[in-house]
Structures are given as C-alpha cells and as structure tokens.
Amino acid sequence: MTGPHAIRALLVDDEAGLIDDYRRILCPSEETGDNRLFSKLESDLFGSAVRHKRFPEIDLIACQQGREAVDAVHAALEEDRPFTLAFIDLYLAPGLDGLQTAEQIRALDPDIHIVLVSAQANIHPVEMSERVPPTDQLYFVKKPFHTAEIQQLVLALSARWRGERWYIGSARSGAGPARLGRGGLSDVLERLPAGAIVFDRRDRLASVNEKMGGLFPELADLLVVGTPYEQIQRGMAERLLPENTLVRVDTWVSDRLEWHARSGGALEQRLRGSRWALLVEGTSASGESFCLYYDISDLKRREASRATAAHMTQMAQSFAALCERLDGFAGAAGPFPEAAAGSRRLGSEVAVLPGAIGTAPWLDHVKSLSDRLQAIAQRQKLAPESFGLNRAVGGVARKMRAELPAGVQIEVIAGAGLWPVLLDGEKFEIALAELVRNACEAMDVGGRLTLETSNVRLTRDFVATRAGLAAGEYVRLSVQDSGPGMSPELVERALNPFFTSKDKSAHMGLGLSVVYGFISQSGGYLEIEGGEGRGATIDIYLPRGEELSAEPVEDETLEGLSVKGEASSADKRRA
C-alpha cells in the first residue's frame, strides 16, 4: 500500500495490456522511465489527461480471473482494509464471467462501488442492476475509455465511499445512538409514532430514533451504531420473548433473518408482560433497510377482550340449551330407565358423576350442575338489592377463615365512603367464596390474600380496551393473591368452562366461568391480570347503585380481620 490514505481499487481483466493501461492512468508513479516518457508522448499527441499533482494515491490490486478477485475481496475484509471500488471486465475467461464475479463480490462487501467495463454490452443495464444491486452502486463504462473518464470516476466514487464511511465512523464514536438525520426517509421515520432503526447495506445499525429506546429499554446496550441486525434480533429473543415460548431462540432468530432477507413486511410479536409489538420492515432503493416497531399492546387487549366477550356469549347460549335438558331430567321422577342397565350417560349428552346412577343422589348432582350451568348461561333467577359491599366482603372473609390453608392470611382493605351496589347478595357471597378458594389454591405454601374495595370512575380511554365495559362510576373489588401468577396463555383460557390447570379428578373447571356469568348477568365486568411471577389479580367492576337510606354498620362484620380504611379512595383510584 502506497500510503495510509490511499484508495484501494480492484482491477479484474484477463488482458495484461489493459491492466498496464489502468496502471498508467491511476498509478503513474509506478511507471519506469520509458513508460513515463511514453505517457507524456501519448498526452502530447492525443490530448489525454495526465495525473494531477494532487491526484490521490491509488493502491491498485489486479486480478485476471473472477475467482481470484473474489478471494482478494474476502481477504481485504478479513484484514479490515476493504476495497473502495472495483473495475470488472464483463467478459472474463475462463471461470466466472464479469457479472458473476460482481455478484459474488457484492455479496461479500455491500459497500464497494462496482464499475463494469466492456467494448460491447449485450446485457441490458436493468438486468445488471437486478443482479448486482443496489443500482446507485453499479456503473458501466464502455471501451475504449478516456483517461480523464477513469480518473474522474475514481475521484467521485472514492469521495462518496469515504463520506459514507465517515458518517458511520462519526456516529459510532458518539456517546449514544446516532439520531436520524433530516431529509428523505430518515425525516419520515423520525416523525412516525414508532421505534425506528435504519441499517446500512451490510445490515449494521446506522441510526435509531428516541422512540425505539423508550419502547425497548431492555435493548439499550444493543441500540448503538454498528450493531448487526442479527445481534439485535437475538437480544430481542433472549430478553423480550415470553420465557415459556415454544420456539428455541436459534430457530426464532433464523426464521427472522430469512424473513428479513425477503425484504420484510409486517409481523406481530408477543413479548413478555402481555406486551405486543408490530414490526414493519422495508428496503430503500439504495440498499439500506429500516425497521419500525409499534406498540400494539392496547390493540391486542381490545382484541382479546372482544374475543373473550364473544366466546363467553356463545358459551352462554350453548349452556342455556343444555340447562333446558337438565331441567327436564331433574323434574323426572325416579332414576333413568337406563340406570338399571348400568348406563353411565344422561340421555345422549350429559355424563353423571360416578356412583350416582340408579340412586336418589343423582338428582342432587344434576341439580348442582344445573345451577352452575345456569350461572354460566346467565339465566339465574336473581333477587338484586342495594347494599354496601364492604359488609358483604367482610362477612365472606370472616366465614372463610376456618377454610383457609395453613399459612395463608386474608386481609380486607375496605374503601372509605364506598358507594352502594345493586346485586343479589346471596349469590354474590357464593361467587366471592369461589374466588377466595381459587386464589388460595394458587398459593402452594402460605401467602397473603387481599380483598380490596374502592370507588372508581372509569374513563373512555380505560374502557376502550375492555369490550362490554362503559365509562362511568363503579365499585371495584380486587381479589389479589401472592402466588406465582398466571401466564398470558393461561389468562386467555381461565374463563373457559371445564378448563382447569389443577387436578381434573377434583376440579371440574367451572369456578371462574360461574363467577363471570353471575357478574355479567348483574351488569358488571370481570377482568384477570395474570401478574406472571408476582401474583394474580381479579378485578370486578360493579355499577354504582342508588344511595341507601342508612349505611349498614360494618364494624361488627369486619371485627377480627386485618382491615385498612382508605380515605377518599374514590379520588385516589381512578382508572
């Protein structure tokens, strides 16, 4: 190399005479005395431009075959001394032709500028550009060329190459991620309500906007200039994907890289903590790629809420038809005719619990099952009345102290000035007892169960993500346990009738479904927050009822419990 700031140029031509011509044009200092005299004579006779005293130094590497040139580019990258540009003759022989050589060189070094040279071009420029993209880094020169033409091309392309390298280098040396510049695509990305990253032609991070850092603070150490696309995707897989994801990290990353290679598109991705992101990718005409990340967590919550409401409505309709059959069975006198023959089914659809056939207890089982299915079908006969929720919650907590597993403590946080609710009090206590038992079973060894009441005013923004819930004034009851919590997948299935994550021989999986049906039939709303790793919470929103003529005395009911009053909770806990 002739100097620390020399331009590195690759020459690929199978004619030794043409290689000498390039050297006379670009590297006159290497000429012998006779050649130097010949160059001056050529300039005097034909008007060819000679090298200017400030013409940059050129480190010219010549190859006569395509495979040799590809190996030279690979070695240059390994040494971190990449070529600035390459002159490649289109018709090389033997081995790789010029276009094939250019394709392989571009695959190795996306930043190099390639000049195709030929006396005749039987290949259309569009085909050249398609085979050796991007278009703005591919040029064509026809033989015979002029000395000044080659020199000017070297000056222009080397200046552009150095400018691109300077931009990446200066951004890399900064204190943080490079800010997207003004103008063109960068200006558009900066203004989008999304996290934006721009990658250069070699898939290295070139720019990132502030929204990206705010959206994914977990990736702060990766969102720096020069980080490869693959490394960012691997970090996202390891740090942001749900821990119980069914795909391996390596598989996820390889699938993402394959998708990225096809110029991207749009993908939805579930992340930890019930977060969702929409990834939109594309490629610019000059070969850079961009990634946009939108936070769609609220959108997915709305979709899940609508899907749950629609699913539970369908289940209610199905169970309503089943209840009609059970009502008919329960009203029949005596055991089913099939009982004597040892049949284990009611009619053709409903299974009876073991040991119930042929004896009177089967009616009790059917009646109990029918009552629960009536609740799921939202067909219960309710007797609503106005009452204070604190008294009912305290009564259930007191009655169930004897049922609590060893080591489990129950705490009631009674909101001060609580508004009345209009509910069937008896069925509400049954539903709350079901929630308490369910929460206790979620805590393996000891723990704390908290029942908290409060007044809340739900805003339009809050109810927008919860199908079937309207803005207004509500009394909220929160049932929170200190167990391991629930994964998003478990939350999605928790309300399904006959679904249970516990021992199926002891649990039918109807508890939460029954509570949901009762609350919905009463005009309320039930929501589950999984709280994976930190305990689950079930929030029940009950519409505010009419004021009572006299507030019931609650102290006696709450006596002996751990009770905390919260003043002005109506203002403190607005959703």
Q: Are 389 and 453 in contact (CB under 8 A)?
A: yes
Query: Mean of the pLDDT values across residues 531-555?
Result: 73
DSSP annotation string for 318-359: HHHHHHHHHHHHHTSSSS-GGGGGT--EETTTEEPPTT-TTS
Q: At residue 246, does pLDDT exceed 60?
A: no
pLDDT, tens digit, for every residue of 415-448? 888 999 988 888 898 889 888 888 888 776 778 8
Check residue 328 and give its pLDDT.
Answer: 58
pLDDT, tens digit, for every residue of 34-64? 555 555 555 554 444 455 667 888 999 999 9
The one-letter code for the residue type at 91 is Y
pLDDT, tens digit, for every residue of 105-122? 999 998 899 999 988 777
Which residue would you say has higher pLDDT here, 497 or 337? 497
- Quote the CA–CA distance of 418 and 413 in Å, as a whole number: 12
Q: Which residue has the tokens 């207890």?
A: 361
Most confident of 14-18, 353-357, 445-449: 14-18
| Summary mean pLDDT of the chain | 75
Which residue would you say has higher pLDDT here, 569 or 154? 154
Which residue would you say has higher pLDDT here, 385 or 33? 385
Most confident of 341-345, 470-474, 506-510: 470-474
Residue 467, SS3 per DSSP? coil
DSSP 543: E
- The CATH number of domain 184-295, selected from 3.40.50.1970, 1.10.357.10, 3.40.190.10, 3.30.450.20: 3.30.450.20
| Helix, strand, coil tally for the chain in percent (to 5) | 45, 20, 35
pLDDT, tens digit, for every residue of 358-385? 444 555 555 555 566 665 656 677 888 8
Q: Which residue has the tokens 């899907």?
A: 307
- Quote the CA–CA distance of 493 and 499 in Å, as a whole number: 7
The one-letter code for the residue type at 508 is M
Which residue would you say has higher pLDDT here, 108 or 134? 108
Instruction: Sort 144 into a burial class: Cβ within 10 Å, 0-12 / 13-18 / 19+.
Output: exposed
Check residue 49 and give its pLDDT.
Answer: 47
Give me the CATH code for the 7-166 domain, please. Answer: 3.40.50.2300
Check residue 339 and give its pLDDT.
Answer: 39
Check residue 67 and give its pLDDT.
Answer: 94
Residue 574 pLDDT class (50, 70, 90 cuts): very low
pLDDT, tens digit, for every residue of 261-283? 887 788 888 887 778 899 988 88
pLDDT, tens digit, for every residue of 169-214? 555 554 444 444 444 555 666 677 889 898 888 889 988 888 898 8
Check residue 318 and give its pLDDT.
Answer: 60
**CATH fold match for the domains 7-166 and 184-295:** no
Check residue 560 and give its pLDDT.
Answer: 46
What sign does the CA torsion over 384, 390, 396, 398 have? negative
- Quote the CA–CA distance of 328 and 57 in Å, as a whole number: 99
Which residue would you say has higher pLDDT here, 134 or 216? 216
Predicted structure pTM score: 0.48
Distances (CA, A) of 66 to 63, 83, 124, 292, 465: 8, 15, 21, 39, 61
Residue 269, SS3 per DSSP? strand
Domain 383-572 sits in CATH 3.30.565.10: yes
Check residue 460 and give its pLDDT.
Answer: 86
Check residue 559 and give its pLDDT.
Answer: 47
Check residue 160 and give its pLDDT.
Answer: 83
Check residue 179 and give its pLDDT.
Answer: 46
Instruction: Sort 354 into a burial class: Cβ within 10 Å, 0-12 / 13-18 / 19+.
Output: exposed
Instruction: Sort 34 into a burial class: Cβ within 10 Å, 0-12 / 13-18 / 19+.
Output: exposed
Check residue 474 and give its pLDDT.
Answer: 92
User: Residue ranges per domain, the chain?
Assistant: 7-166, 184-295, 299-379, 383-572
